[in-house]
Amino acid sequence: MYRQPTITRGEILKATGLNPASLSHCLQNLIAAGVVLRVGEIESRTGRPPDLLRLNPDAAYFVVVDLEASPIRFAVTNLLGDIRYRWEEGDPADAMDVALIAKGVEMVCGPMSRRELDAILAISICRPGIADAEGRVTSVNMGWRQFPFEKKVAAAFDRPVFVENGGRAYVLAEYWLGRARGIDHCVYVEVGKGVGGAIISHGTFFQGRKQAEFGHITIEPDAPDLCKCGKRGCLEAIASSGSIVRQYLEMVRGSQRLPGGINASEVIDRAQRDDPQALAVINRAMRALGLGLSYLMAIFDPELFVLGGYFVGAEDFLLPRLQAELAKYVREWNGPYELAVSRLGLDIGLKGAAALAFHRTLADETLLRTLCQKRVWKSETRKKAG
């Protein structure tokens, strides 16, 4: 029901294989609870005209947090990821702690009515770093080393808390709301402060013992480029935004005066204006990315790569270059594939957290019951008031 704007009973029966009696019972409850709305009838030549049904996206809300963003972004979304309230919070001076998240959540919920606050189903957080089996997170950017993030954050709120790594949240957002809708095998790659991403295959994350670390694939084993991980020649050490700036500064140092605080976008702009050093740096980054994507091609053969980070806004210039590099290493037996740039913009982390919350809610019986009960209670109050 969340995949198309409206649906009929017949379409639901066909898609789910439920028996008609159970479905009618379910729908009656969902409609009574206000989670499903009857939005009209469609014409029918025979018998009773079928109802057009729609999920009520404002039946409940999620509080979503994007710790990958700088400043940190907070939002309240409805069931379908539409953003209703926003808040931003500057990066902390020291390591990020849970109190700062709690403060942001309080701020973003500030303007909400009592009724809306009651309809908050869960809190969903997209974070950087790598979690171990116990949910302890290590992240250079957050200043965490095996920090028991999931436990701490679960203790700080009176609603269920979902936590997911940025790459996985982003690919969920693309799969639910973005370029990867309807695609079975998709890789999302974020090329920004770091290089990361995740793979989705038939709607589920695709990973081994732990999540893939695209950024730390060794692309040029003999390269001098030192990575934050301590090794040399990582994809991230060549293609991240910081690495692009570093390489450009190394190249031009002495040869010309530079404005302080140059960033990756500025290097990309200069490359577009045929600055030879900037072009050399960008070409090297695209070659490294093309090689990295070709490994994923050899191993997964995805239908779609979605690129985020500095590709957003520089699509026309960067995408054909990356495409040409990747094409060098793709074999004739690989299926047709596409490269695309994310269109979810700066909200991708928030949308990803909302996607996570929605999918976890669908899989959680207790939460689904809460969702329905809340609305029953509300419709009763409304009746009393009326």
Candidates 160-168, 227-235, 307-315, 355-363; binding stretch for a second copy (CB under 8 A):
227-235
* 218 sits near a second copy (criterion: CB under 8 A): yes
User: Look-up: residue for tokens 């700062």?
Assistant: 100
* 329 sits near a second copy (criterion: CB under 8 A): yes
* 324 sits near a second copy (criterion: CB under 8 A): no
Under 8 Å CB-to-CB from 87, ≥6 apart: which residues?
A: 73, 74, 75, 104, 107, 108
* 323 sits near a second copy (criterion: CB under 8 A): no
* 111-170: contacts with a second copy (CB under 8 A): 130, 138
* 206 sits near a second copy (criterion: CB under 8 A): yes
Sheet with 137-139: strands ordered across = 130-131, 137-139, 144-147
Question: What binding mask, one character per residue, do residues 258-297 give for a second copy by CB under 8 A, x or -?
Answer: ---------------------------------x--xxx-
Rounded CA gap, 270 and 293, in Å? Answer: 25
* 229 sits near a second copy (criterion: CB under 8 A): yes
Candidates 77-85, 94-102, 107-115, 198-206; binding stretch for a second copy (CB under 8 A):
198-206
Candidates 67-75, 120-128, 223-231, 340-348; binding stretch for a second copy (CB under 8 A):
223-231
Query: Are 179 and 191 spatial neighbours (Cβ–Cβ below 8 Å)?
Result: no
* 224 sits near a second copy (criterion: CB under 8 A): no
Q: Helix count (H) and strand count (E) of the chain?
A: 13, 16
**Cis peptide upstream of residue 71 (ω within 30 degrees of 0):** yes
* 165-194: contacts with a second copy (CB under 8 A): 184-185
Tell me the sheet residues that pair with 124.
64, 162
Query: Are 119 and 376 spatial neighbours (Cβ–Cβ below 8 Å)?
Result: no
Q: Of these, 213, 266, 269, 315, which contacts a second copy (CB under 8 A)? A: 213
Q: DSSP string of 93-149?
A: SSS--HHHHHHHHHHHHTT--HHHHHTEEEEEEEE-SEE-TTS-EEETTTTEEEE-H
**Which amino acid appears at position 23 of this protein?**
L
Closest separation in Å from C-beta 69 to a second copy? 23
Q: What are phi and psi of 41, to 5 degrees?
A: -125, 150
Candidates 11-19, 76-84, 270-278, 301-309; binding stretch for a second copy (CB under 8 A):
301-309
* 333 sits near a second copy (criterion: CB under 8 A): yes
Candidates 174-182, 206-214, 270-278, 308-316; binding stretch for a second copy (CB under 8 A):
206-214
Instruction: Pick between residue 74 and residue 305 the one whose CB is nearest to a second copy.
Output: 305
* 300 sits near a second copy (criterion: CB under 8 A): yes
Query: Are 302 and 199 spatial neighbours (Cβ–Cβ below 8 Å)?
Result: yes
Name the residues that contact a second copy, by CB under 8 A.
Answer: 130, 138, 184-185, 199, 201, 206-210, 212-214, 216-218, 221, 229-231, 291, 294-296, 298-303, 328-329, 331-335
